[in-house]
Amino acid sequence: MQHNRLMDVWNAITTQRAVRTFSPRPISDADLERILEAGRRAPSSKNDQPWEFIVVTDRERLQTLAEVGDYAGHLAGSNVAIAFVTADGDPSSLATDLYDVGHATQSMMLVALELGIGSVHAAVYHQELARRLLGLPDERRCDYLVSFGYPKRDGLLDRPRRNVPRRPLAEVVHRDRW
């Protein structure tokens, strides 16, 4: 079933779920292009756009990439993984670059949801392994990847998300100062 459904932003944010098991159904080139375009258009500090994306579809490489982080096993079963690559060097710019990568990540994941494609992010714990598997030059690093694919369970994205515990707003919001 093709899920090209328009979603309002609030509905997308409140229903988005982590999908860690995927069906073998391939993602179309047009849908993948739209996901990548959403990342490219994400906001960034001073419009630096500090990211580059590596699209991984090779089954063996996806299985090996699952070893880059302690919680990255879902990469092995995904249809596509996107690696977020930034400059490796000045530690003072790394925090800003990763904040910007977060914008790109969320933009891609929300567009994927609208297309009926599930996703979940993974942190890279083993930088040298990621560098080798992705063929990164010395001046580049990859701290995050996102798995994409159609959920293994039919209709998963159409169901309301279970009530995931969240801290109350009053507990996390401070007004004017701490």
Q: How is the chain split into domains, by residue range?
A: 9-151
Instruction: State the pTM of this model.
Output: 0.91
pLDDT in tens, 104-135: 999 999 999 999 999 999 999 999 999 999 99
The answer for residues whose C-beta is within 8 angstroms of residue 90's C-beta and 6 or more apart is none
The per-residue pLDDT for range 134-174, each reduced to its tens digit, is 999 999 999 999 999 999 988 778 776 777 788 999 999 99
Q: State pLDDT tens for residues 39-71.
A: 999 999 999 999 999 999 999 999 999 999 999
Tell the CATH topology of 9-151. NADH Oxidase (3.40.109)
3-state helix, strand, coil in the chain (%, to 5): 40, 20, 40
